[in-house]
Copies of this chain bind each other. A is one copy, B any other.
Amino acid sequence: MILSLDLDSDAPIYQQIRDRIVEAIASGHLVEGSSLPSTRQLAVDLGINFHTVNKAYDLLRREGMLRINRKSGALVQRDARSGPPEPGFTAEWETRLRTLLAEAVAHGAGDPAVLDSCRSVLTSFTSPASDSPAPASRKRAELGAEQGDSTR
Contact = CB atoms under 8 A, between A and B. Distances in A.
Interface of A: 19, 22-23, 25-27, 64-65, 78-86, 89-90, 93-94, 96-111, 113-115, 117-122, 124-126
Contacts of A100: 93, 96-97, 100
Contact of A117 (B81, B94, B125, B126): B94
A108 B84 contact: yes
A19 B99 contact: yes
A26 B100 CA distance: 11
Nearest to A120: B94
Given A22-B102, A102-B23, A118-B114, A108 B94 contact: no
A115 B111 CA distance: 12
Contacts of A26: 101-103, 105-106
B99 A23 contact: yes
Nearest to A25: B106
